[in-house]
Structures are given as structure tokens and as C-alpha cells.
Amino acid sequence: MAWKDLNLTWHYVEKWAEKKPEAEALVFGDERLTWGDFKERMDRIAKAYLEVSVEKGDRVAMLSMARSDFLTTYMAANKIGAIWLGLSPKLTLDELRYQIGDSQPAVLITLREYLGADLAETIAALKDEFSCIRKVLVIGEAIDGTDSFAAFTGEPRPQLDDALEERAGQVVDTDEALLMYTSGSTGKPKGVVHTHRSIIENIRVELPKFYFDENTRGLLHFPINHVAADVEIGFAAIMGGGALIMLDKFDPGEVLTVIAKERITVVGQVPVMFLLEFKHPAFFTTDFSSVEGFMWAGAAAPRIMIDVLSGICGQTGAHLITGYGSTEVCGFVTYTEKGDDLETLMKSAGKIAPPFELKIVDENRNELPDGQIGEIAVRGPFLMKGYYNKPELTAEVIDGDGWHYTSDLAYKDERGYIYITGRRSEMFKTGGENVYPREVEDVLESHDGILFAAVIGVPDEIFQEVGWAFCMLIPGKTATEEELRELCRSKLANFKVPKKFFIRDLLPLLANGKVDKLALKAEIEQMLKEQ
């Protein structure tokens, strides 16, 4: 294969298997797979799919967390033109029913147990309720009506060698390769469909921005239904040719141990993960000398996080990178640059990476000048093919010129750096004035006792809506309502100052590290009912 023609995701497994078959590729627990092992497993799994008549465009679902089988099943599905879908064992049975009912997978691969919980009842329910599932493969002890994943996919099936190569030859870069469901923060989760092309073109830009190469040793502990696992870290390791060390859960102490033991070079996390690691007694004795880059996204970085990480970078020469992206754009599309100052790293999400395009638009989708808040619109080959089975929703967010309107609000400075101010749905009006919650949250988080803040618009008889602020304390620190109110008054127009402040040791958090505003809104509704 001519390496310049690598335009399908699984081509990169074959590239590295040919170039360095004995080099380490995937590490999970005691299992260490070389690139040669990776290709062999990928092909055996692909032939197992063919054995049960998986066709081009069929879905293959996996209920698991990060482990070697995650990437071997994913690349195998792509090699035969199937669409791979990751499901989290943390989802409830009803949440799984919704996503499986929507995606109609032909094959379900599943863990038998996760964190000590037996998934047998969940597996049986899904198997019995969805006739679309032709084969259930269990990692661990199989249940009635299912097969062992290891045994079924471990067969060599040489009689299917020609069929595999024939099918692989039919796959093109515009074929659908990956299905990911959004978090559902604004309603039912939507299935986001990506092609081989959108995945590869995004990571082609990401690799030099993150300084990934074939010597990289990456760390992955995100759920496999998350774009960070499926693209930003997981596929980046495949395309870049480095090694990927995986954990099937986030545990601060275990992460610190693995960073030192495995000589991790790239640590990509959401801010809350870094903050939990800072609290671990082993943090300040951990050997970070191998780390070349710390990356984060998903939420703004608090000052304490930037200060601690920049202190490590000052000793080791590592760099700090953040950016902006989403499931719909297949990961990051903006990046900060090596050497950006701490204020930029804390407040900005970087600038668009060429050849991608970005503009800030008003409610009529007209471009706004620098400094004005509007909706982020982006364009480029990273863009999703659309929402699965939802052409009307797709047409609402992608126009005829290929611009994707993200519903995220931001403004852009003269350097092209963007500053996120929140979701369009979060903006509220008070006394006729627009309030962007992120602006207020930034002020609250500048207090040395506040880790995270969430500002929510609440109905008001006089002003239409007013802001309520929920603030999470840094462990060991304190803050008072009077201090926070005075801080806001000193930095914001009066109409932006929240009318109520709730100061807590803990706020509800989503898996991506952001404050769960839906949970807070439900709490507010209950408060209002009780008034």
C-alpha cells in the first residue's frame, strides 16, 4: 500500500504494522499488543463480522470502557464498511434502549461485568428486545444465547480472507465509519455520524498541534462513547503511530502511577480530572519528566489548574494546549499555541486551525466584527455527515455552503482567538438586556475560593429573568455571598450581577467535567414550587 494514499481509518493500522510490527501499540492492564498484533486482531474480528453477515453500513455496537478491544473492534468494523458505536456501561438500561433502538446494530459486543456489577440482566434484556441484533459477543463469561467474544473472534477463518479483501476494497473515504451520541443536554441524544474522511482530516491537523508522532505514549481513560476516546486520543494514536495506554476508569491515583510507570508523553483530560489529581497525596511526588504536553477541553480552566501545570512545565519543558470542538466537528478545531500566556490559556479556546474556517455570526447568520458576541460557525472537512436518521435537524445546523452553526456563543479578538460565553440556549434576558452566563462565571471563578461556577437564568415577575449563581468551593477555601456579590459589582454591569448565590462544596458534574446545568435547573424548579 502506498502510504500517501491512506484515506481510510484502518489503513493506518496496516501502515504501522508494516513499518514497525514489533513496536508497542495498545496497552491495557497486563496485555500489551504490538502493531503486528493489532492488525492480526483487527482482521480476525473483521472476518468474524463477515461470518454473521455484517454488511456495509450496518452498525456494530460495543458496551464497554477503554480497553484494547475498543480499538480493534472499531477498526475491524471500518475495514468492512460498517459503522462503529461505543456505549458506556454507566448508562441506564433505558438510555441504552434508546440508543440501540435508534441505531439498530447488527452486532453487540459487551462486557460481562464492570466495576463489580454483573451486566447479565442488561445483556439479556437488550438481546431479547432488539431483533436487529444478530450476534451478541460477551467479553467474559457468556450468557445463554450469546457467544464468548474471545472465542468467536479468535478463530482465524482463512476461508474468509478473500471476502475480507474484497469488502475492504469496496470502502471509500466518504463512507460512514463512526456513530456517537451527544450528551442530550438539550433533549434526547442525537446520533452524530462521521466518515473516514472527517475523522482523518481532523486528526491530520491535530497531530502537529498536539505534537503527536510515532514516539508518543498517550493516556486514555475516557468512556468509549466520547469523541475524546474515539477520535482525539484513540484514533490520533493510530494515525500518529504512537503507543496508547488505556484505563477502563478514571482513578486519580492510578492515573498518576501510570504516567510515571509507562513514561506517558501526552496527558489529555478535562479540568476536573486534573483538579482531582492535584488533591491526591501522590501528585507532588509523581515523576512527570516524560510528559511533553498537557491538554484539556470541555470547560474553562480555573486559575489553580493553570498555575500548578505551568509550574510542572517550568521544570520539564512541557507545553499547555487547550481548544474548542464538539462531537459534530470530530474533536478540536481551535487550538492555543505553544508559548501562549497564562491568561490566554485560562480564558481563551485558541484560534481556528487552517485550513479550517470559523466566523462569529448574529441571529440572522451575518458575520459579526471582532469583539461582538455571537454564535460560532465553522466549516471544514472535519464536519459530521449529519445526525443519524434526522435530516431535518441536520439541515437546521448545516447550511448549503457547508457552514455548521454550533449554538455555542463566543467573541473573537484581533488575533483570531475565541472566548466562549456559553450556549445560545443559556443566554437570558434581564430587564431587556442580554446576559451571557460564561462572562459572569469567569468573574466568580476569579475568586480565590471558587473552583467552578454556574449561572442560570430564572423567571422573575419584574425583570423577566434574573441570574442565580451556584458556586463550588475549592477544598479548604471559603467564600461568602457578600464577597461574591461585591466581586461581580466591581467587574460587571449591575444587570449582570446574580440576584442569588448558592455556595457549595460540590456541584453536579457531567462526564466531560462541565457543571450539569440540567440538574441545577431541576433543583431550581423544585425551589420555585416550594416558595
Same domain, 260 and 190: no
Same domain, 375 and 322: yes
How does pLDDT run across 85-102, given as a tens digit for each residue?
A: 999 998 899 989 999 999
Same domain, 480 and 394: no
Mean per-residue pLDDT, 51-63: 98
Whether pLDDT at 512 is above 80: no
Residue closest to 108 by CA, chosen among 128, 126, 88:
126
Is residue 163 within 8 A of residue 343, CB to CB? The reply is no
How is residue 231 annotated by DSSP? I
* Residue 94 CA: distances (Å) to CA of 125, 143, 227, 387, 438: 11, 21, 22, 21, 32
393 and 259 within one domain: yes
State the pLDDT at residue 405. 97
Q: Residue 4 pLDDT more than 60?
A: no
Q: Kindly tell me if the per-residue pLDDT of 197 is higher than 70.
A: yes
Query: Is 208 part of any domain?
Result: no
User: The CATH number of the domain where 120 resides is what?
Assistant: 3.40.50.12780
Tell me: do 86 and 63 sit in the same domain: yes
304 and 400 part of one domain = yes
**Domain end call among 180, 197, 214:** 197
Residue 217 within any structural domain of the chain: no
User: 407 in a domain, yes or no?
Assistant: yes
pLDDT at 513 over 80: no
Look at residue 274 and tell me whether its pLDDT is greater than 90.
yes
Number of structural domains the chain divides into: 3
Same domain assignment for residues 389 and 455? no
- Both 188 and 280 in a single domain? no
Q: What integer best gives the mean pLDDT of the chain?
A: 94
Give me the percent of the chain exceeding a pLDDT of 90.
84
Helices (H), 20-129: 35-51, 68-79, 93-103, 120-129
Mean pLDDT confidence for 49-60: 98
Average pLDDT estimate for 257-277: 94
Please check the confidence at residue 433 and state whether its pLDDT lies above 90. no
Q: Is 346 part of any domain?
A: yes
**pTM passes above 0.75:** yes
Give the CATH number, domain containing residue 495: 3.30.300.30
Same domain, 45 and 122: yes
Neighbours of 455 (CB within 10 A): 29
pLDDT above 60: residue 184: no
Between 304 and 84, the higher pLDDT residue = 84
The reported pLDDT for the residue numbered 199 is 98
Q: Is residue 94 part of a domain?
A: yes
Residue finishing a domain among 423, 458, 487: 423
Q: What is the pLDDT of residue 206?
A: 97
pLDDT tens, residue by residue, 95-123: 899 999 999 999 999 999 999 999 999 99
Domain co-membership, 325 together with 445 = no
Statement to judge: residues 264 and 352 lie in one domain: yes
CA–CA distance, 70 with 62 (Å, rounded to integer): 8
Q: For residues 427 and 244, which has the higher predicted lDDT (pLDDT)?
A: 244
pLDDT above 70 as % of the chain: 98
**Ramachandran assignment for 193, one of left (phi > 0), alpha (psi -120 to 50 degrees), beta (any other):** beta
Same domain, 408 and 440: no
- The answer to whether residue 227 sits within a structural domain is no
Domain with 394, as residue range(s), is: 250-423
Give the residue-averaged pLDDT of 357-376. 96
Asked which of 423, 446, 474 is the last residue of a domain, the reply is 423
Q: State the virtual CA torsion across 335, 508, 88, 32 in degrees, nearest 10.
A: 60
Mean pLDDT of 77-86: 98
pLDDT band with cut points at 50, 70 and 90 for residue 298: confident
